[in-house]
């Protein structure tokens, strides 16, 4: 069984500041990990994913995440926030070979202020 | 048109109505999904179809009835819903479910309000 915990339902940063969205997971098998973004009135869009190999993965729009097995974490970062980054972000986990069993976190709403 | 398209975008229905949500994917995927997104709750997987056969049904009430006539189309038939069924219903598709574990591609959802 897998689970995901996203710390902080709301995060506010100033434009140009570092973005850090936290995600911790629980999995009985080596996990596949995902970050999705949801803009208002839209569906979810894949930002990045970790399956195997390099633990630092780069995604779209300047985001990246690092898989840390010892900390069971997959935090999402971006060096410099832009107003267009304001959205809701979802972390998700699945077991290898089970795309239909994607377990999502409750989401973190990112606000970017001037 | 590309991606995953859902219609209608918004739907208001009474508890005695019957309506259907439609999803169409233009990505050549062979698996399709219905998710329910409610405020302050994780996305809930409702149904999974792989190669047009239902492979997962996560204890969804029978007032929700899915239909997958082919690999590009997915419907969710609704009848005698309850107000707590009001939510954003998201359709998604993927290629395979095996080792490749293709990520999900989502539509923009149907915002359902049950009055």
DSSP assignment string, A14-25: ETTS-EEE--EE
| Per-residue pLDDT, B10 | 96
Q: Which of A45, A97, A106 sits opposite B41 (nearest CB)?
A: A106
| Per-residue pLDDT, B41 | 86
The Cα–Cα gap between A109 and A86 comes to 8
Contact B42 A41 (CB under 8 A): no
Q: Which of B52, B31, B5 is nearest to A97 (CA)?
A: B31
Instruction: Read off the pLDDT of each residue in A78-99 and give the average, rounded to a whole number.
Output: 89
Query: Residues 3 to 62 of B: which have CB under 8 A from any A CB?
Result: 4, 6, 31, 33, 40-43, 45, 48, 50, 55-56
Q: Would residue B60 be called left, alpha or beta, if left means φ above 0 and alpha means ψ between -120 and 50 degrees? A: beta
Q: Which residues of chain B have pLDDT under 70?
A: 1-2, 97-101
Cis amide prior to B8 (ω within 30 degrees)? yes
Sequence-distant (6+) residues with CB within 8 A of B100 are none
A101 pLDDT more than 80: no
| Per-residue pLDDT, A12 | 97
Q: CA angle A103-A98-B69, nearest 5°?
A: 95
Contact B97 A98 (CB under 8 A): yes
A interface with B, Cβ–Cβ < 8 A, is 4, 9, 32, 34, 36, 41-46, 49, 51, 90, 94, 96-107
Residues above pLDDT 70, as percent of chain A: 96
Tokens of A91: 């972390």
Greatest Cα pair distance in chain A: 43
- Tell me the three state secondary structure of residue A61: helix
Helical residues (DSSP H) of B1-115, grouped into ranges:
none
């Amino acid at each position: 069984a897998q689970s995901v915990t996203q710390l902080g339902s709301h995060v506010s940063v100033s434009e140009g500041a570092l973005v850090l969205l936290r995600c911790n997971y629980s999995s009985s098998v080596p996990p596949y990990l995902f970050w999705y973004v949801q803009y208002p009135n839209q569906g979810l869009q894949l930002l990045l994913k970790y399956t195997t190999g390099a633990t630092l993965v780069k995604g779209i729009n300047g985001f990246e995440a690092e898989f840390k097995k010892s900390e069971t974490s997959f935090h999402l970062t971006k060096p410099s926030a832009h107003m267009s980054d304001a959205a809701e972000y979802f972390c998700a986990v699945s077991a290898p070979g089970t795309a239909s069993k994607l377990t999502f976190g409750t989401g973190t709403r990112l606000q970017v202020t001037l | 048109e590309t991606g995953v398209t859902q219609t209608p975008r918004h739907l208001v229905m009474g508890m005695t109505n019957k309506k259907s949500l439609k999803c169409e994917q233009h990505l050549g995927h062979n698996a399709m999904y219905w998710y329910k997104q409610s405020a302050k709750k994780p996305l809930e997987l409702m149904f999974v179809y792989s190669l047009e056969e239902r492979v997962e049904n996560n204890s969804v009430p029978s007032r929700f009835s899915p239909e997958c006539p082919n690999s590009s189309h997915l419907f969710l038939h609704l009848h005698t819903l309850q107000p707590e069924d009001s939510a954003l219903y998201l359709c998604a598709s993927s290629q395979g479910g095996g080792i490749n574990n293709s990520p999900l591609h989502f539509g923009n959802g149907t915002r359902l309000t049950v009055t």
